Amino acid sequence: MRILVSGGAGFIGSAVIRYLIKNTNCEVANVDKLTYAGNLESLASESDSARYHFYQVDICDGVALDAVFAEFKPTAVVHLAAESHVDRSIDGPSEFIQTNIVGTYSLLEATRRYWSGLPAEAKSAFRFHHISTDEVYGDLEGTDDLFTETTPYAPSSPYSASKASSDHLVRAWQRTYGLPVLVTNCSNNYGPYHFPEKLVPHVILNALAGKPLPVYGDGSQIRDWLYVEDHARALVEVVSKGQVGETYNIGGHNEKRNLEVVETICALLDELVPLEARSYKELITFVKDRPGHDRRYAIDASKIERELGWVPQETFETGLRKTVQWYLDNREWWQRVLSGEYQLGRLGGD
């Protein structure tokens, strides 16, 4: 396969590319605009591979996308490029509308132009895999309810609304134009190379710096946590073996309250890099809840297990331990992110 990964310098995208280069013979094209969350240092080893190709391209730029398709000639697209931070979407929704909706439209059209010109056999084998989020479903009221692939959409934030819109566009391009699409909706990811604005890395790095560990409201919001390398493996299974037109929910089977996540990180740090005479838990600070904060997400991932044989390999405990240890062992990576040095010397940038 020749797989074009949009957003390949991001958290999940880079995990997918690392998996593909390490575990398959696929040719990989990384198409990334390199916004603040895109970091090519997350692909330092993979960039030396002859099977890895990088294009600094905005997915809203149809002309540039056409050139990438013409040169790389993909057999599949794995679409991960997106603005994804809920707090940022509340403060400034326009970038989320532009990237997640207009960008998805632009990529769909570039894909359709390329796909329409393929020979019949290549056209039939082609796949467009769109990666979305469980947040499009809104939240769950009951303690035993789970999101399934047929749960009605009820997005709560500008972020989740923009992702819901992109999901609908992808399905419409299959229904209207016959584009062979696949959609996956995942739960909260965590793991190595995660941009520090997200909960898990933010807590780890604040704790190491002795700063407060902010928890929204009373910390009772429940999320299902998925180790990013498990997710990457699932995405490769879906694009390789998934049934065209199907949706697959991908979850980690790890429901945890936000406060429990923070406390578990603190306990791991207490063990690995203990403070003198106190616990990292003393840094926990409760702050005003954000607007429209969903209370509970939980994924039913039985379909992907039943049809494709995928199950997560990491529990929350093993995955979080690996994650904390990675941040302890890779200080240079996140220190360069915090300082902004990772953005220096970019193609077409400063």
Residues tagged active-site? 134-135, 159
How many Å apart are CA 158 and CA 282, to the nearest integer?
33
- DSSP-derived letter for residue 205 is H
DSSP 159-187: HHHHHHHHHHHHHHHHHHH---EEEEEE-
- CA distances, 131 to each of 23, 167, 186, 237 (Å): 21, 9, 8, 13
Are 229 and 19 spatial neighbours (Cβ–Cβ below 8 Å)?
yes
Are 261 and 215 spatial neighbours (Cβ–Cβ below 8 Å)?
no
- DSSP-derived letter for residue 41 is G
- Cα–Cα–Cα angle for 131, 154, 37, nearest 5°? 40
- Among 49, 2, 60, which residue's Cα sits nearest to residue 21? 49
Which residues does 250 contact at the CB level (< 8 Å), separation at least 6?
Answer: 184, 185, 186, 187, 226, 231, 234, 235, 299, 301, 304, 310
How many Å apart are CA 34 and CA 347, to the nearest integer?
9
Q: Which residues pair with 286 in a beta bridge?
A: 215
Ramachandran area for residue 7 (φ above 0: left; ψ -120 to 50: alpha; else beta): left
- Among 150, 149, 38, 48, which residue's Cα sits nearest to residue 99? 38
Are 111 and 69 spatial neighbours (Cβ–Cβ below 8 Å)?
yes
Are 12 and 113 spatial neighbours (Cβ–Cβ below 8 Å)?
no
Are 185 and 163 spatial neighbours (Cβ–Cβ below 8 Å)?
no
